[in-house]
Amino acid sequence: MKKKLLKTAMISAVAFTPVLAVGVNVDKASAATTDIQTDYMTMSVVEKEILNDSMAVFAQTLNTGKFVQTTLPVSYTTTKTRNEFIQSLSTLLAPLPSDSATISSDLQARFTAFENSFPVAASADAQVLSPYLEQVATIIADEVEKFNPANDQVDVAPLFNTIKNRLMNEAPIPVTVEDYIKYPSTGDAASLVDQVNAAVGPGPVTPPPPTPEPPVEDNGDGEISTGGDTVENNPQQVIDAINAADTVDELVITLEGTDTEVAIPGTIFNALENKNSDAVIIVETSTGAYELPVSAVDLEALAEQLNVTTAELKIVIKVSEVQAPGLVNAQYDVILPSIDFEVTIVAPNGESIVLNFFPQPVKRSITATKQLAALTTVGVIVVNGQVRGVPTFVTPGNTTANLYRAGNSTYTLVENFKTFKDVNNGANWSEQYVEKLASRLIVSGTTAETYSPNRSITRGEFASILSRGLGLVAKNPNVTFSDVSSTQAFNRNAEIAAVVEAGIVNGYKDGKFRPYQEINRGEAAIMISKALEYYGADLVTLDKTKKASNFEDYRYIGTTTRPHIEKVLQAGYINGYSDGSYKSSNDASRAEMARILYDFLNSIEFIN
């Protein structure tokens, strides 16, 4: 509100200038019209309306005699009547044309006509008028710039009075025009301001033109891109682009400025799903991005639950900056403000369902304002009163972190480094793998200071680190295994249920999981192979020249285990021994599992 009233005050103050500027010569007028045209062309519709209203009011006040002497000098009245003089001024101050292209010629004609009707313009004294008018403009601009209303309560009468006093004291009027000019009194100035404010009104004279909606673009390589406004206000344009494209792998929606959310109509979602059920919706903001696979949302089931059709639904994706949770601040060095990622399905009546579970990890990104340390930056969330790490990959350039998890929450980037005395400084060959996984909160030690790299790993431990490493979330955390509970260290966040639901690990026919049973190298290969089938198979290139049948002990490997060993061998996650054997029945150590898991997660870019 302050800006609008101040703008009005400035226009009203500048209205002094045309009245004082009587007698401006043609050359000076040409320069003035050029400046006015430039300024006018850069004005918004609202600013032009305010300017024209102000000029119209000012021209009307001339008839009251407030700004022109009631009695004109004899030298003037011999050729012009007072009414003719006022009419000339009114014409000069008439509202400007709406067509910017005609402003220059229009104003030039006004100035020329006024000068021809004003005797002083042709006299030798006119030479002193140009510098005087420049001084007048400088004083007005100076006072307007300093004008600072208190508490948004604008009274521009003092501004008028200050300008009038400065003009009288610092810019005495040349003798040749002094008889034609009358300064407004404080009361006159206040009256003029009231009239201008009344004409302008409390709000915009005309609404500003709408911001053009971003176009819908097809890059020809599987990407459709547009803005949030187009998605919400012109969904058919997006649908037409999807239908016309040869293929669509990604629908990229860019939110401008401080916008944090977009409501995607179900009709767009349906069109994208029909085009390519493996497509991804990507919402980009200034602070981060969110990638939602179409296959991760069962829109039909959600529509049935809300008793509407899929076309009536909106998928609202929000990426907003929030304060870091207190528990995170207390335990870690926070790098950036937290980002809250939300997906909500909204029905026309306002009923909604918040999505906090997805069948596969969902990628989200946090944009950093400084360089990130690729090996010690980790994304964390708070779950069940615990700070948990999520798979974090710092992209090349170190200014963006990609985080993967099969659920939504508030995510915070922190700095963390962890090592153990029995692997640190070359104490064990697995040092770099253990430290990278421990710093990312994926593996834990057997104590606070020891990792026990040579100890065999159990089914419960390996299932747990696979769950954390992949960012899994259990849809039903209550597992039915008789020997698994939430009090066990490896299952405090339903890690066992998560890997079982993902199909990576199974229980036994007797209803047990046997979490404390040590696993062998063959079983470890099966788990990693199934983890790759679950996520990332399309991201990894297999070396088909490597064959499990080349192992010396191949005949001792179970037939169901062989294809899994071959897959992890071809992926480069696991190798045989120097004697050419694989030793499938040998127990897998915690050191070996650290390397296998790291190589797997690194190959699918879940960890640096």
Residue 7 has pLDDT above 50, yes or no: no
438 shares a domain with 532: yes
Asked if residue 37 belongs to a domain, the reply is: yes
Angle between helices 103-116 and 82-92 (to 10 degrees): 160
303 and 442, same structural domain? no
Inter-residue contact 339 to 410 (CB < 8 Å): yes
The type of residue at 573 is Y
Q: What is the pLDDT of residues 431-452, one digit of tens each?
A: 999 999 999 999 999 999 999 9
Q: What is the DSSP string of 36-82?
A: HHHHHHTS-HHHHHHHHHHHHHHHHHGGGTSSB-SS--HHHHTT--H
Quote the CA–CA distance of 457 and 445 in Å, as a whole number.
12
Q: What is the mean pLDDT of residues 195-211?
A: 60
Residue 207 in any domain: the answer is no
pLDDT by residue (tens digit) across 34-67? 444 455 555 556 555 655 665 566 566 655 655 5
For 333, counting Cβ atoms within 10 Å of its Cβ (0-12 exposed, 13-18 middle, 19+ buried), the class is exposed
Chain center to CA of 1: 27
Q: Worst-scoring range by mean pLDDT, 157-171, 216-230, 413-427, 588-602?
A: 157-171
CA atoms within 13 A on the CB side of 358: 24
Output the pLDDT for position 418: 95
Q: Which of 433, 456, 606, 436 is closest to 535 using CA atoms? A: 606
Q: Are residues 398 and 449 in the same domain?
A: no
Quick check: is 212 in a domain?
no
| DSSP sequence for 259-324 | --EEEEEHHHHHHHHHH-TT-EEEEE-SSEEEEEEGGG--HHHHHHHHTS-GGG-EEEEEEEEEPP
DSSP letter for 255, please.
P
Residues 519 and 462 in one domain: yes
For the chain, how many structural domains are there in total?
Answer: 3
Q: Select from 415, 434, 457 the last residue of a domain.
A: 415
Q: Confidence band (pLDDT; 50, 70, 90) for 376?
A: very high
Residue 209 belongs to some domain of the structure: no
Q: What is the pLDDT of residue 437?
A: 95
* Of the candidates 367, 375, 316, 372, the residue with the CA atom closest to the CA atom of residue 346: 316
Closest CA to 408 of 500, 237, 283: 283
Q: Which residue has the tokens 């509970």?
A: 485
Question: Which residues span the domain enclosing 192?
Answer: 2-200
Predicted model pTM:
0.65
Last residue of a domain, one of 145, 171, 200: 200
Tallying the residues shown for the chain, one arrives at: 608
pLDDT at 485: 84
Does a structural domain hold residue 222? yes
pLDDT score for 59: 60
pLDDT of residue 481: 86
In eight-state DSSP terms, residue 417 is -
Domain co-membership, 133 together with 169:
yes
Q: Which has the closest alpha carbon to 283: 321, 227, 234, 338?
A: 227
The Cα–Cα gap between 317 and 340 comes to 11
Band of residue 153 on the pLDDT scale cut at 50, 70, 90 = very low
Query: How far are the Cα atoms of 141, 539, 553 from residue 565, in angstroms, in the given order?
Result: 81, 19, 12
Residue recorded with tokens 């792998």: 249
Interval 410-425: pLDDT, tens: 999 999 999 999 999 9
Is the pLDDT confidence value at 576 over 70? Answer: yes
Asked if pLDDT for residue 569 goes beyond 90, the answer is yes
| Average confidence (pLDDT) over 541-570 | 93
Is there a single domain that holds both residue 547 and residue 565? yes
pLDDT band at 478 (very low <50, low <70, confident <90, very high): confident
Q: By C-alpha distance, which of 258, 263, 288, 253 is closest to 410? A: 288
Are 262 and 374 found together in one domain? Answer: yes
What is the secondary structure of 402-415 as a DSSP string? EEEESS--EEEEEE
Where residue 54 falls (left for φ over 0; alpha for ψ -120 to 50; beta otherwise) is: alpha
User: Closest Cα to residue 25, out of 107, 115, 93?
Assistant: 115
Class of residue 166 by CB neighbours under 10 A (exposed 0-12, middle 13-18, buried 19+): middle
Q: Does residue 151 lie in a domain region?
A: yes
| Of the ranges 172-181, 201-210, 213-222, 394-403, the best mean pLDDT one | 394-403
**Domain presence at residue 221:** yes
Is residue 208, in this structure, part of any structural domain at all?
no
Task: Give per-residue pLDDT as tens, 93-148.
Answer: 566 666 656 665 665 666 566 556 555 444 444 444 445 545 655 565 566 556 55
Question: What CATH code is carried by the domain that includes residue 274?
Answer: 2.60.220
Q: Which of 383, 415, 447 is the last residue of a domain?
A: 415
Q: Do 355 and 429 sit in the same domain of this protein?
A: no
The reported pLDDT for the residue numbered 170 is: 74
